[in-house]
Amino acid sequence: MPKLLADEEIKRMLRPLKGWEHEGKFITKTFSFPSFMDGIGFVDRVARIAEEQEHHPDVWIRYTTIKLEIQTHSEGGVTEWDIGLAKAIEEELRPRGMKRK
């Protein structure tokens, strides 16, 4: 199992990931899309990544706004697994040029 990261480690590791924040025991990011279906398409892509990594975020959908909250539930906080999932999500978005908040 991965170890919990200290606040400073999380901050350092999130620096290159635009828009990701450390909120309590999670890392989070809010995404904005032009339409509801664009947002749902994004959620579908995130779900595929999560299944591949066997690591699943909490997903909040509010019309064209999607918020992801990621933590390693078994550890009760943020680990390298969470940072890896955030990186994979960013890689998925890069070629599509998704609008971000």
Q: Which two tokens stand for residue 74?
A: 């078994």
Structural domain boundaries in the chain:
7-96
Secondary structure element (H or E) that encloses residue 62, with its range: strand 58-62
Q: Is the pLDDT of residue 93 over 80?
A: no
**51 alpha carbon, distance to own chain's centre:** 14
Q: What is the predicted pLDDT for the residue at 88?
A: 96
Calpha distance 43→24 (Å, rounded):
23
- pLDDT tens digit sequence for 18-69: 999 999 999 999 999 999 999 999 999 999 999 999 999 999 999 999 999 9
Secondary structure element (H or E) that encloses residue 31, with its range: strand 26-32
The mean-pLDDT minimum among 9-13, 39-43, 80-84, 94-98 falls in 94-98
CA proximity to 10, closest of 31, 24, 1, 75: 24
Fold of the domain built from segment(s) 7-96? Gyrase A; domain 2 (3.30.1360)
CA proximity to 65, closest of 89, 41, 91, 33: 33
